[in-house]
Amino acid sequence: MRVLAVSAHPDDLELLCAGTLAKFKSQGAEIFMSYLCNGDKGHFEIPSPELAKIREREAKNSAKILGAQILGGLFPDLDVYPDKERREKVVELIRIARPDLIITHSPDDYMCDHTITSRLVIDASFIATLPNYKTKQEAHTLISPIIFMDTLAGVDFIPTEYVDITDFIDVKEKMLSCHESQCKWLKEHDGIDYIEFMRKVASFRGLQCGVKYAEGFRNYSVWGRIKPKRLLP
C-alpha cells in the first residue's frame, strides 16, 4: 500500500492526519508526505527564504520520525492557484508517489492554500493517469481514491470515517512538535497552544467514535474513486 498525503503547508499533515499515517506505517504502508507551499509566510521577523529553509528542516525531522518520504515545498505560501503550471507539478508529484490512496484537505477548509491544494490534488490525480498528458514521469495506472482530512478545529466537517489513533497520539504529538517555528508563530500570532489544539480535536473525534483519540475523514465520493472496502487503517 502506497499512501500519499498532500497538504498546503509543512505542518498541516501532522495536525490533521499524522496519527493515521503512523498507523498505516505500522501496517507496512509506504508513506509520502507532501506539502505544496513552503511555509515561508508564517513568522513575524524571519524573512521568507530563511523561514522556508527552517520549515523544510522541521518537516524533514517530522517525516524522519515516521519513516516517510518528503515531497514538498513547490511554491511559496499564497502562491498556489488552480492553473496549468501548478497542476502539472502536482501531476508530476502524484506520478512519483504512485499512490493507492491520497489524503488531502477538505475542499472547504479555512483558507485559500488549503482549498486550492484540495482542488489541485483532485484534478491532478485524474490527469496523472492519462498517458497523453506528458510530464517527466510515466502516467500513474490508478485514479487514486481520495480521502479528505478534517478541517481546522473540525469546523463544519462531519466525518464519515474515523481512525482510532489512541496508540499513535504520542507519535503525532512528537511529529507536530518538530514544527517549532510554527508552534511559536501560532502562539504569538493567534494565541494558540498548537499541541493542545491538536489534542482537543483528536479527543473530540475520539469521543464521537468511542475511543480515546481519533482522526476524522470524509471519502471523496464520485464515480471512479469509490472502492468496495474501507481504505483507512
Rounded Cα–Cα distance for residues 47 and 65 (Å): 28
Identify the three-state secondary structure at position 35: strand
Pick the closer one to Zn ion by CB: 57 or 225.
57
Q: Contact with Zn ion (CB under 5 A): which of 5, 9, 25, 206? A: 9
**Under the criterion CB under 5 A, does residue 12 sit at the interface with Zn ion?**
yes
**Across the beta sheet with 30-37, what order do the strands follow?**
69-75, 30-37, 2-7, 101-104, 146-149, 214-219, 161-164
Distances, alpha carbon 66 to alpha carbons 22, 35, 216, 220, in Å: 6, 16, 20, 26
The three grid cell numbers given for residue 60, joined into one nine-digit string: 524533514
Q: Which residue type is seen at 166?
A: T
Binding mask 14-53 for Zn ion (x = CB under 5 A): ----------------------------------------
C-alpha cell at 73: 515545498
Helix (H, G, I), strand (E, B) or coil at 162: strand
Residues in the chain: 233
Residue among 155 and 207 whose Cβ is closer to Zn ion: 155
Total site size for Zn ion, rule CB under 5 A: 3
Report the C-alpha gap between 204 and 189 in whole angstroms.
25
8 makes contact with Zn ion (CB under 5 A): yes
Span from 1-9, 50-58, 72-80, 99-107 in contact with Zn ion (CB under 5 A): 1-9
Rounded Cα distance, 194 and 185, in Å: 10
| Shorter beta-carbon distance to Zn ion: residue 10 or 216 | 10
Q: Which residue lies nearer to Zn ion by CB, 105 or 205?
A: 105
* 164 lines the binding site for Zn ion (CB under 5 A): no
| Binding region for Zn ion (CB under 5 A) out of 5-13, 20-28, 48-56, 168-176 | 5-13
Indicate the residue among 8 and 17 with the shorter CB distance to Zn ion: 8
Give the interface segment with Zn ion, choosing from 9-17, 23-31, 89-97, 171-179 (CB under 5 A). 9-17
Location of C-alpha cell 490527469: 127
Query: What is the radius of gyration, based on Cα positions, of the chain?
Result: 17
Q: Nearer to Zn ion by C-beta: 77 or 164?
A: 77
Find the part of the chain contacting Zn ion (CB under 5 A) among 2-10, 18-26, 56-64, 77-85.
2-10
Residues that bind Zn ion (CB under 5 A): 8-9, 12
